[in-house]
Amino acid sequence: MPKKPRPTRPDVIANQVFLAIPWRGVRLRYEHCADYLRSRSPLSFVIVGRADSQNADDLLAVIKERLASSSYAVFDASGGNANVSLEYGYAEATDIPRAIYISTHGRTINANSDPPIIADLAGKRRNQYKQEAGLRHLLKTFSDNHPYTIRFERFLSDAGKRLNKGTKKRNRALALKIIHALDGQTDVRRADIVQQLLADQSRYADYEVDSMISRLHNARLIRSQRGRYARVQIA
């Protein structure tokens, strides 16, 4: 992970990490890893693909917006994919903290054999993996060292000093669900988050959800307004 922190800006979502990956060969691995980490990490891993837009110009605009609003970006340079190279060049030009991953699996390299067209990634420091388990380990380590995760874990540690193991586990799951209710969005109505979690299989009570939102707000992990039309966003 880059050591240099990104300057704080109101348009940067503190827990958002952009994943720039080839569409073929490795995309499913990243989707599986992002799903795995969702219940373990407060980070929001963003993958932009064909579903986001049918128009090439519009899709590029979406990519630039998501990159610009991300705290970090991970680029998978497997096979020298041209689109990933283009996105890396944009991130480098706009000084977005970034890391490069690359698969050493032979079939993955062959599936993505396009030459890079903008940024020469060959001389950059790379994090290598071969199978999905290796990629999961890289992303888990990345997450553990991300500034937002460190703040989140500190909050849970401080809040759970006198709680039993079961309560700590329940609080952690609830806090993660509240944070992930904001994935891909700048803000969400507080009432919508509460209603979503009241329908959760864990059977949270109103006071549990409201209390956790307030505690996350006080810990400056989210910002929550007050009142009937209050909105919540990542802090």
* pLDDT the model gives residue 111: 53
Q: Tokens at residue 81, please?
A: 């994919």
* pLDDT the model gives residue 117: 43
CB 47 within 8 A of CB 78: no
Q: Domains of the chain: which residue ranges?
A: 13-144, 147-234
Fold of 147-234: Arc Repressor Mutant, subunit A (1.10.10)
* pLDDT the model gives residue 118: 43
Q: Report d(CA 175, CA 155) in Å as an integer.
A: 10
pTM above 0.85, yes or no: yes
Q: Report d(CA 195, CA 176) in Å as an integer.
A: 16
**What CATH number is given for 13-144 in this structure?**
3.40.50.450
Residues 6+ apart with CB under 8 A from 223: 217, 232, 233, 234, 235
The whole-number mean pLDDT for each consecutive block of 10 residues of the chain, a chain of 235 residues, reads: 53 96 89 97 90 71 95 91 90 95 74 50 79 97 98 97 96 98 96 97 97 98 92 98
* pLDDT the model gives residue 6: 52
One-letter amino acid for residue 144 of the chain: D
Burial category of 151 from C-beta neighbours within 10 Å (exposed 0-12, middle 13-18, buried 19 and up): middle
* pLDDT the model gives residue 80: 78
